[in-house]
């Protein structure tokens, strides 16, 4: 059976039919033979051994026993009846029990004929019993494909209700192997199979569904996981190489007077080694004739903005304009004010474009952009509007990328004949493992050291019962002239509830910190933009000492004088969010604190999150724990929750296989970039098929 007939609709497989086909499609996404063969078991039951009744142990293992039913009867119980059969072998007897489906069992069970039964046993009053055993006549059992270990397939309630049990899926799988004669086209090259001692595709497929031994199962799993990750990496890395060859970029070949003047005379502090290294990586990209597509990762406060600014100066020195796009007005304002201050006296025109900018001011911005008098434009989504036309945009910087969809990014590309260089910045540390898969098509730079003089933030976990002590601590900090954030969780489903939590909190804080001694700001999603800005401004300028807010302040707000972050109901936040919120303090020279407030009721996972926060300030370490707790889908936020729709591999657990796959792809493309060698034809063909049938889960961007 060739690979195209694996595209046969599942309805044609013997034993399926229209109704089952529809259920398999809606519940498991199985449309073709190929989809069914790629439904891999999520666990296995060992059926290698037949137990005698006198060997049964009081444990929770599933066992199989060979014997005969000698007797069957109905027994009255509190509600309805149960059916009890006596099952014997040459060493003793036990009971089989059914609470439902009794009529069918009574009519179909044969007495005094050998059966193989399978299930979990209970022990009561000196007798073993097995409720709802799987049963098969020994004569039938011996005819089936001899399965040493029984695969258990993913299932849903709807499947079970429609009678598509594990046994049915198993039967369908056997049928599929009969129709395909168990022959599957090889998808990896001979040299790879040899070097890594991999099973052939056909052998791996057989042993993943019908493992002959635990050893063969392990080999089959390795082979199929490697293959899956190999093709994911092949796609990402080919895209990257192709982009570097095909997509020409503007060549910024000189480091000019503006960059040098700023570096020598206006840089307010010495760059860290990490910042210098990253600027060097970026300069190499910008001078390579190819379009830069780089991800800049740096923990909160590691100084990404200065790297962004110096990259913009390189663009301006080479006669181009630059823009920086941020996800919110607060952030765009902050970037604008920060960069404007750094550039005072450098003679560069810079403007801010957000939804709040008045029409008359917009007109001026549009004109200056098109004439080239405006060098740097900072703003929100407003930058993407068609009216915004640059004279020559050479560099686009995107802050907090996961908040912008791919479509929005491509809009920036089309502002010119040639796409601008792209630098994506994020303060959400992405573990290496995930970065290799999610951003395999971007080059990655990491700023992994904090500027000198930054004191690490002290983080503690306190229960609600300690609230009075926490309030006393706040009073002391305010006496020292510091400012405080108090953040409440935002849970999308219930804005009313969130608002109530926030308002209750605000009321109790106002009682404990009364006017005129204390001034309190409040910030939440239901405020009008101008009210938000007013409240924010009061806090930034130090008119208020306490800011009570929802997670609106999560990203990028910079108030160096704020030294305490209190997070209420901290158990309701994810790790990366807690880490982002903590990063709002610790921006000045003073010792900063983060206090995680929770109730006494904590799940094990919440406890792990809080302990991680108390133990470490390292965003990458936190991201690794987060990844283990939540899995890759959730880590990237909603737009990308479906990112890694892998069939068998698991990015976290199979990290080593992922690295091996990536290594072999890089080696392959180095030796044979267009896969023309005879031995690599099978890889080229498979890759083309995967793309044709969209089975290569078209990851990211």
Q: If pLDDT is split at 50, 70 and 90, which confidence band does 226 have?
A: very high
Fold agreement (48-145, 257-286+302-426):
no
Q: How far is CA 636 from CA 437, 624, 693, in A?
A: 12, 13, 26
516 preceded by cis ω (within 30°)?
Answer: yes
CATH topology of domain 257-286+302-426: Rossmann fold (3.40.50)
pLDDT of residue 235: 85
Q: For the domain 48-145, what is the CATH superfamily, name and number?
A: Nucleic acid-binding proteins (2.40.50.140)
| Calpha distance 306→649 (Å, rounded) | 39
What is the distance between the terminal CA atoms of the chain, rounded to a whole angstrom? 35
Instruction: Give the mean pLDDT of 274-301.
Output: 90
Q: Are strands 293-298 and 421-426 parallel, antiparallel or unpaired?
A: parallel
Q: Read off the pLDDT of residues 336-346 as tens digits, 9 standing for 90 and up.
A: 998 999 999 89
pLDDT of residue 148: 65
Contacts 24+ apart (CB under 8 A), 14-21: 14/175, 14/179, 15/168, 15/171, 15/172, 15/175, 16/172, 19/162, 20/162, 20/164
Lowest-confidence segment of 239-248, 292-301, 562-571, 653-662 by average pLDDT: 239-248
pLDDT of residue 408: 64
pLDDT of residue 437: 67
Q: If pLDDT is split at 50, 70 and 90, which confidence band does 575 have?
A: confident
Q: If pLDDT is split at 50, 70 and 90, which confidence band does 699 have?
A: very low
pLDDT of residue 3: 53
613 is written with which tokens?
Answer: 């926060």
The reply to whether CATH 1.10.150 applies to domain 1-47+147-181 is yes
pLDDT at 13 over 80: yes
For residues 185 and 3, is the Cβ–Cβ distance under 8 A? yes
Instruction: Give the mean pLDDT of 528-549.
Output: 88
pLDDT of residue 300: 72
pLDDT at 410 over 70: no
Lowest-confidence segment of 19-33, 229-243, 559-573 by average pLDDT: 229-243
Contacts with 634 (C-beta within 8 Å, 6 or more apart), sequence order: 574, 641
What percentage of the chain reaches a pLDDT higher than 70? 89
DSSP string for 514-573: -TTT--EEEE-TTS-HHHHHHHHHHHHTTS-SEEEE-GGGTTT---TTEEEEEETTGGGS
Q: Read off the pLDDT of residues 72-90 as tens digits, 9 standing for 90 and up.
A: 999 988 888 899 999 999 9
pLDDT at 1 over 90: no
| Calpha distance 701→501 (Å, rounded) | 38
For residues 203 and 656, is the Cβ–Cβ distance under 8 A? no
Q: Read off the pLDDT of residues 235-255 as tens digits, 9 standing for 90 and up.
A: 888 878 877 787 788 999 888
The reply to whether CATH 3.40.50.300 applies to domain 458-616 is yes
Q: Are strands 483-487 and 92-98 parallel, antiparallel or unpaired?
A: unpaired
Domain boundaries, the chain: 1-47+147-181, 48-145, 184-248+624-701, 257-286+302-426, 458-616
Phi, psi of 144 (to 5 degrees): -65, 165
| Calpha distance 35→584 (Å, rounded) | 47
Q: Read off the pLDDT of residues 168-194 as tens digits, 9 standing for 90 and up.
A: 999 999 999 999 999 999 999 999 999
pLDDT of residue 404: 55
Instruction: State the average pLDDT for the chain.
Output: 86
Q: Are strands 520-523 and 483-487 parallel, antiparallel or unpaired?
A: unpaired
pLDDT of residue 120: 85
pLDDT of residue 643: 44
Q: Read off the pLDDT of residues 634-668 as tens digits, 9 standing for 90 and up.
A: 443 333 333 456 788 877 678 789 889 999 999 99
The residue among 459 and 435 whose pLDDT is bigger is: 459
Lowest-confidence segment of 232-246, 527-541, 621-635, 648-662 by average pLDDT: 621-635
Nearest to 292 by CA among 319, 311, 267, 305: 311
pLDDT at 403 over 70: no
pLDDT at 700 over 60: no
Q: Read off the pLDDT of residues 430-450 as tens digits, 9 standing for 90 and up.
A: 776 677 666 666 788 888 887
pLDDT at 553 over 70: no
Secondary structure, 3-state, 491-526: CCCCHHHHHHHHHHHHHHHHHHCCCCCCCEEEECCC
> Containing H/E element for 394?
strand 393-399
Instruction: Give the mean pLDDT of 4-20.
Output: 90
| Helix, strand or coil, per DSSP, at residue 247 | coil
Q: If pLDDT is split at 50, 70 and 90, which confidence band does 60 have?
A: low
């Amino acid at each position: 059976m060739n690979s195209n007939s694996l595209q046969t609709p599942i309805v044609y497989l013997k034993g399926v039919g229209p109704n089952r086909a529809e259920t398999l499609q809606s519940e498991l996404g199985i449309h073709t033979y190929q989809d069914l063969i790629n439904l891999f078991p999520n666990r296995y039951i060992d059926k290698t051994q037949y137990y005698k009744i006198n060997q049964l142990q009081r444990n929770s293992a599933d066992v199989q026993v060979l014997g005969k039913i000698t007797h069957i009867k109905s027994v009255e119980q509190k509600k309805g009846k149960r059916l009890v059969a006596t099952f014997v072998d040459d060493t003793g007897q036990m009971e089989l029990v059914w609470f439902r489906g009794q009529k069918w069992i009574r009519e179909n069970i044969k007495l005094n004929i050998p059966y193989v039964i399978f299930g979990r046993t209970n022990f009561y009053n000196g007798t073993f019993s097995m409720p709802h055993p799987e049963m098969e006549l020994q004569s039938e059992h011996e005819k089936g494909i001899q399965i040493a270990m029984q695969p258990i397939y993913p299932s849903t309630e709807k499947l079970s209700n429609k009678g598509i049990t594990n046994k049915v899926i198993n039967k369908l799988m056997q049928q599929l192997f009969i129709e395909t004669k168990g022959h599957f086209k090889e998808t990896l090259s001979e040299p790879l199979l040899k070097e890594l001692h991999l099973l052939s595709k056909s052998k791996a497929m057989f042993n993943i569904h019908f493992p002959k031994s635990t050893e063969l199962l392990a080999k089959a799993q390795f082979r199929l996981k490697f293959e899956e990750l190999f093709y994911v990496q092949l796609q990402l890395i080919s895209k990257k190489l192709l982009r570097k060859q095909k997509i020409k970029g503007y060549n910024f070949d000189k480091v000019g007077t503006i960059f040098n003047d700023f570096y020598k005379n206006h840089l307010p502090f010495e760059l860290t080694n990490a910042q210098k290294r990253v600027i060097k990586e970026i300069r190499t990209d910008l001078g390579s004739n190819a379009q830069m597509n780089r991800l800049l990762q740096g923990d909160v406060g590691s100084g990404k903005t200065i790297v962004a600014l110096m990259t913009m100066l390189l663009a301006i020195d080479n006669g181009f304009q630059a823009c920086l796009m941020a996800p919110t007005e607060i952030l765009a304002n902050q970037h604008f004010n920060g960069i404007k201050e750094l550039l005072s006296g450098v003679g560069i025109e810079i403007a801010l474009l957000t939804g709040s900018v008045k029409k008359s001011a917009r007109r001026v911005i549009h004109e200056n952009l098109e004439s080239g008098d405006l060098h740097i434009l900072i703003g929100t989504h407003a930058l993407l509007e068609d009216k915004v036309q640059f004279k020559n945009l050479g560099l686009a910087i995107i802050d907090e990328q996961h908040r912008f969809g791919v479509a929005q990014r491509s809009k920036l590309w089309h502002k010119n004949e040639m796409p601008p260089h792209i630098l994506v910045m994020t303060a959400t540390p992405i573990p290496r493992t995930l970065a290799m898969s999610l951003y395999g098509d971007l080059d990655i730079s990491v700023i992994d050291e904090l500027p000198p003089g930054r004191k690490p933030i002290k983080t503690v976990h306190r229960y609600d019962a300690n609230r009075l002590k926490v309030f006393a601590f706040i009073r002391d900090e305010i006496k020292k002239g510091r400012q405080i954030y108090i953040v409440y969780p935002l849970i999308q489903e219930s804005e009313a509830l969130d608002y109530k939590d926030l308002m209750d909190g605000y009321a109790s804080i106002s009682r404990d910190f009364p006017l005129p001694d204390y001034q309190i700001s409040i910030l939440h999603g239901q405020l009008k933009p101008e009210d938000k800005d007013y409240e924010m401004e009061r806090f930034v300028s130090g008119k208020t000492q306490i800011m009570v807010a929802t997670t609106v302040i999560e990203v990028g707000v910079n108030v160096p004088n704020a030294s305490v972050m209190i997070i209420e109901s901290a158990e309701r936040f994810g790790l990366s969010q807690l880490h982002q919120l903590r990063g709002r303090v610790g921006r000045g020279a003073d010792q900063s604190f983060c206090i995680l407030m929770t109730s006494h009721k904590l799940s094990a996972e919440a406890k792990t999150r809080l302990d991680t926060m108390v133990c470490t300030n390292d965003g990458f370490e936190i991201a690794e724990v987060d990844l283990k707790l939540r899995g890759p889908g959730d880590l990237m936020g909603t737009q990308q929750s479906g990112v890694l729709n892998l069939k068998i591999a698991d990015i976290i657990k199979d990290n080593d296989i992922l690295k091996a796959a990536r290594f072999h792809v890089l080696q392959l493309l180095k030796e044979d970039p267009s896969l023309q060698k005879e031995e690599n034809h099978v890889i080229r063909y498979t890759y083309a098929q995967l793309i044709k049938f969209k089975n290569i889960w078209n990851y990211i961007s």
